Amino acid sequence: MLYDAVERPGTVTPDELRAAYEEEVRAAVDAAGVDAAATAADVSEDALSDGVLELTLEQAASILALTDGYPDADAIAWEFRDHLLMGMTTGILDVDTLASEIELDLSGQEIQQAIEGRTATTLDELAAIHHVIAVRNER
């Protein structure tokens, strides 16, 4: 699953964490085929075959769901979000604190909407959010 792409996400950079997400998605694309993955994620084949993975969590989950042993796309996305929420609880983090520590121009409200699934969130944004939560929990 995406949330455990790196054993200790607080020990790597957000870019390295995103790269690990991309490796998991790339492996699913390779296993399912570019055509099937593009159809599942509702993106062009070029977007996947060129190695450009500017995918949202939902698109990545749709691709991962094509892989044997993975649950459906909704379960993958919600499990990732639940993992973030549990990490926030463990690290005693609120969305405004996350917004102040994240290296993206997102407000606390935008982070809350992203985590709750009310707005599309890219793997890049998720990696940044996941990283801050993980660093806080590894202190």
Residue 121 tokens read as 């969130």
Per-residue pLDDT of the chain (139 residues; tens, 9 = 90+): 788 999 999 999 999 999 999 999 999 999 999 999 999 999 998 888 766 568 999 999 999 999 999 999 999 999 999 999 999 999 999 999 999 999 889 999 999 999 999 999 999 999 999 999 999 998 7
**CB neighbours (10 Å) of residue 18?**
22
Number of domains in the chain: 1
Spatial separation of the C-alpha atoms in residues 35 and 39, rounded to whole Å: 6
108-125 burial code (b ≥16 CB/10 A, e <16): eebbbbbbeeeeebbbbb
pTM score of the predicted model: 0.92
What pLDDT sits at residue 53? Answer: 62
Q: Which domain holds residue 48?
A: 2-137
Spatial separation of the C-alpha atoms in residues 125 and 8, rounded to whole Å: 18
- Let me know: does 38 contact 44? Beta carbons within 8 Å: yes
Spatial separation of the C-alpha atoms in residues 121 and 114, rounded to whole Å: 6
Spatial separation of the C-alpha atoms in residues 66 and 32, rounded to whole Å: 6
